[in-house]
Every structure is written in C-alpha cells, then in structure tokens.
Structure 1
Amino acid sequence: MEFSPPLQSSRLIARYKRFLADVVTPQGDTLTLHCANTGAMTGCATPGDTVWYSTSASTTRKYPHSWEITETKQGHFICVNTLRANQLVREALLAQCLPELSGYSGLRSEVKYGDERSRIDFLLQAEARPECYIEVKSVTLLQEGRGWFPDAVTERGQKHLRELSKIAEGGNRAVLLFAVLHSGIEDVSPARHIDARYAELLVQAQQSGVELLAYQAQLSSTGMRLNKSVRVELS
C-alpha cells in the first residue's frame, strides 16, 4: 500500500471525543484531524508525538485530514487507522504474500456466517479445499516488550472467537490473523490483564482447531505492507 501523496507530519496536541485530534504543523498551523480509531490507543496518542496524516481530495468532508501513523519519541511507528488492517491483509492475500494462506483462487469479504450473525473479514475458496474463514485483528498495544490484544474489553472479539471455533469444529479452516501495526512488537499475546474472558476463549479456540497467525507491517510515511511473521504466545 502506497500513500500518494506521501503523508505529512505534525505534532500531536491532544486526541479528544475519540474521533478527533488536534495537531500543529511544522509551519505552526493547528489542524483538527479525523481519527478512525475507537479504541483506547494506549501508548499511541501521547502529546508531543509525531503524527503522520493523509489529506482527502473530497470537498464534502468536514475534516479532510486523517490520522494514519504515530511516530513515538522512542522511534516506533504505529498505524492507528484501524481501517488499514483489513486493507493490508486483503492486499497481501491477493498478492499471495502470506504462505499459510496462499493457493486459493477465490476471495470474498464481509460474508455473513455463524449462529451469532457475524460477518467474516475474508473467506478464501478453492476447488477441492475446505473454505478458509479469516478474522483480522489489529494489534498496537506494546507493554513490557510484548504486543497485547485486545487493548480494551471486547465482547465483539469474544463472539468472533466462538464463531471461529464452530467453523473449525465443522471441518473448515478458521484463522485468527493478528495484523501487527506497531514496529516495536515482536510477538503477540492475549491481554489477560485487560480481558480475561477473551484470553480464555482464545486458548479454547486454538484447542478447537482455530489457527493463530500474526504478521507485522512495515510502516513509513510513504507506504505500508505486511511482510514479517511474528509469534503468537498464549502462555
């Protein structure tokens, strides 16, 4: 994925009302950015950090600028635009860049499935192969040298684990794919200290046959792509 034009830099003043953030440009102008992230953004929104933002050509948007990447004082790059995770995974699947998920000829998005009326992020299909259901989760929380998911209690995430477990038990492939959008994260673990029930369900899902994968994105002001497999540690 390339940013065209490249992202522009600014300094974070504050994030507020969840969807908005004020920044100051190198020229001294103050801008209000749209923030497409409803999560806690722990460690991703510290005042004074560098914010890289894109600008929409749309004339109807109230806030034409979008917060894409945080560059922390420690030098880490973090993609905070949660919409990018699925875009990156889709791009990687189409390019056959994820070895564990290659060899499929059909790719569908947002397919309804399950007893709890869910929508799977991606459904891979091929002749003479079980269907492959892929749920994508964005990982940006770094604490004590490790990446954690989730960064807040997620009943929706718990539901997805129950649905994926049933898919695996029914004979199809079920994959939970962590898109690691933080340059400092080298492995991913369930955040028991944040959502103990999610952590329990994740272990149960793996025991039911759900495959756990994690890929880290290479991030810069000109583009990003998933290019590095990292470990998922349940212990």
Structure 2
Amino acid sequence: MTLTKPVVVPFEGPLTKGNFVRRTDRFTAHLVLDGVEVHDGENGEVKAHCINPGRMEAFVDPGATIWARRAPENGPKRKTDWTWELIERDGVICSTNTQRPNALIAAVLREKALTGFTDYKSVKAEHVLPHEGPGTKSRCDFFVEELDGTHHYVEVKNCHATYPDEDVLRGWGYFPDSVSERAARHCRELAALASKPKTKCTVIIVASRADATKGIRPSDYHDPGFCAAAREAQKAGVVFRGLRASHTTAATTIEDEIPVDLSTPSSDILCALHRAWAACAPITGWDRTFGKDAPKRVANGPFAHNKGRAGCDSALLPVTSEHFTPTVSRHFDDRTPVPKRRRKRSAKKK
C-alpha cells in the first residue's frame, strides 16, 4: 500500500500572516494580522474561527507565526470574519483546521492516488452507517462503492501533535491529544461492520505536519480508551493507514503514506509523553470567558485515567524547551475580577 503520487489541495483564497495571541471559549482564536486594522478597542486583535475542538497540546504558543483566511463576503453569515488555518511550530508549518483532512482525502480519492482506492464506482461523503437498534445513527466520512460491489467505509482523523524534545517520541505523530469518545465509538462501529460480507473498513489518520516522518501512534497517555478500541478494531479487520501532509501558504500537499503503529507503548514512551504533557500544559487548552467560574484556563489539566499509573502522574520539575515558551495565559490572572452576571429585568405588570 502506498501513495502513488503527491496530491496538492490549494487554499480557497489567500492567507494573511500574523501572530497568535490567545484562544478563548474553544472555537475562538485571537490573532494580530499583518496589515489588518482593527477599530474595536481590542489592541489590534481580530477574532478568528478555531476549527479545532481539542486541547491543541504541543501546538499553540503565544506569539507564534500564524496564517488566517478571510471568510468570503458572499458566504454564510458567521460570528467571525476569519478562519485560522496554519501555525509555524518547531520550524514546521502545521494545519490548525481539523476539517482540512477531509478535503485532502476527498482529493486523494478523486485523484485515485492511494492504493486500495483506485477502482470504484462512486464516492459519497457523510454516509450514514448501517444501524440496528435504538440510538443515534452515525456517519462515516466517506463511503466508497467498489467495482465488484464491495462497500468500503472510510473514517478520517486529524493528527497534529509531535514532541521533538523527547528522543523516543521524535518523528512520530500522536493522536489524540485528549480523550475522544467519538473516535473510540467510530472504531467500535467500524469493527462491527468489518466482519460483514463484501465490506471493508479503513481509518485514515492524516498527520497535519511534515515532521511526522516515522509514522503515527495512538496516544495511550492521552486516551487509552481510544487506543484499546483501535487495537480491537484492527483485530476485527479494520485497516489503519497514515498520510503525511506538508503546508505552504498557497496549498497543502499529501506527500506520502506513513505507518500507523498500534502496538502497546513501552513504559519509556508513556513516561516521555507524561514529561511532554507537563511541559506543554501552560500553552494547552483555552481561556473560558463564561460560566460561574470564569475567567478560567481549562482543558490543560491532568487526565483522571493516569492517576496512580506508573510514570504518568508524578510531580515534575519545570521543563524548559527551545520549541515553545511555557507561559501562563496572559488573558486572565488571579487579579482579574469575575464578571458579575446581570439580572434579568422582570416585566412590569400592567
């Protein structure tokens, strides 16, 4: 199995360079963009849509160089005028858009550039999976009907985390960087389908950064539930494949196929992931600006499943790194007063 040729997918519109400031409320990034004037009193910052619901561990550093794309004026109405697309990380340009891999795989399938996906009748996106019994019907990212009538279900995942400071981790992309019950459920659903006649199931994980040269590994440190589900799915016949993408400000290129290593990690790998998590915690997650406990930094704390786990819950000394600046959020601190909630005015009786 291999990629028969590189596949290039241009961005829809030009990208504007700038710097990352902070991330708020999960889906909002505050950016300073070159040549873009802001007149709303926010220190020259613009708000951009952050299409990444995860923790973005080992990824987001205040002051980092970023690129954003302006939303088309004739497009759907939205809260922000910009979409955050790229960030420069460890000298590598990486994608911050978790929807981008679906567009990349759509192009790979259209170009018939990946072995195992070169002979088919049709490709359909967002296909409802066969479902029995009660519950929500899930969808797979792509449904490929092969020439002989075989049904091929394809699920796409985005991997953005690498840890160049740790020798045993360097060159590997790790997925996910947080607990993802949805990803585990997808593995279980595909495993149930894989045993059916004339049925194939594949999970394609796209490493959205060029320095994942060795391959992709599921992270048992971040989500042992997903890792267990992935290994069981592989035993049931689900195929796991990895693709590596590189980025410029003009386009994304799927460059080659890389291995997906589903083996159980060694204690050295788990301990290295723990050290990397601790080092990255100050720049992980986002600043919550609503709720009774706001303002508060969230999604950067320890994982409950690592409590008492050998090498995964020990107290560590502060870690310095040439790859990021470990600063706390500069948006909120202990001196920032908690916003008072305004009471609703009761309607006057006539």
Give the alignment's TM-score, normalised by structure 1.
Answer: 0.94
- The residue identity in structure 1 corresponding to 2:226 is Y
Kept in 1: contact 2:128–2:140 (CA 8 A): yes
- The residue identity in structure 1 corresponding to 2:23 is R
Alignment of 1:98-113 (within 5 A): 98-113=114-129
Kept in 1: contact 2:125–2:142 (CA 8 A): yes
> What is the distance in 2 between the residues matched to 1:25 and 1:134?
37
> Which is worse superposed, 36-45 or 52-61?
52-61
Deviation at 1:129, TM superposition (A): 4.2
Deviation at 1:3, TM superposition (A): 2.2
Kept in 1: contact 2:94–2:246 (CA 8 A): no
Q: 1:2 aligned to 10, 13, 23, which one?
A: 10
Deviation at 1:4, TM superposition (A): 4.6
Is structure 2 residue 150 aligned with structure 1 residue 130? yes
CA-to-aligned-CA distance 1:74-104 (integer Å, 9 cap, x gap):
2112111111111111111011111222211
User: Residue 180 of structure 1 corresponds to which residue in structure 2?
Assistant: 207
Aligned residue for 1:232, secondary structure, equals: coil
Provide structure 1 residue ranges, at least 5 long, that are not aligned to the other structure: none
Deviation at 1:53, TM superposition (A): 0.6
Kept in 2: contact 1:114–1:163 (CA 8 A): no
Q: Across the two proteins, how many residue pairs are aligned to each other?
A: 234
Aligned structure 1 segments of 4 or more residues deviating by more than 3 angstroms:
26-29
User: Residue 81 of structure 2 corresponds to which residue in structure 1?
Assistant: 64
> What is the distance in 1 between the residues matched to 2:220 and 2:71?
38
Q: 1:207 aligned to 216, 221, 235, which one?
A: 235
Alignment of 1:1-235 (within 5 A): 1-27=9-35, 29-58=44-73, 60-72=77-89, 74-115=90-131, 117-143=137-163, 144-145=169-170, 146-171=172-197, 172-186=199-213, 187-235=215-263
Kept in 2: contact 1:4–1:222 (CA 8 A): no
> What is the distance in 1 between the residues matched to 2:57 and 2:117?
31
Deviation at 1:185, TM superposition (A): 1.2
CA-based RMSD of the aligned residues comes to 1.6
Deviation at 1:232, TM superposition (A): 0.6
> What is the distance in 2 between the residues matched to 1:181 and 1:55?
21
Deviation at 1:48, TM superposition (A): 1.2
Aligned residue for 1:156, secondary structure, equals: helix
> What is the distance in 2 between the residues matched to 1:87 and 1:4?
11
- The residue identity in structure 2 corresponding to 1:51 is I
> What is the distance in 2 between the residues matched to 1:87 and 1:5?
15
Q: Answer with 1 or 2: which has the greater Rg.
A: 2
Deviation at 1:181, TM superposition (A): 0.7
Deviation at 1:225, TM superposition (A): 2.8
| Distance 1:114-1:148 versus aligned 2 partners, 3 A rule | farther
Aligned residue for 2:29, secondary structure, equals: strand
Aligned residue for 1:105, secondary structure, equals: strand
- The residue identity in structure 2 corresponding to 1:104 is Y
Larger % of strand: which?
Answer: 1
Aligned residue for 1:201, secondary structure, equals: helix
Aligned residue for 1:15, secondary structure, equals: strand
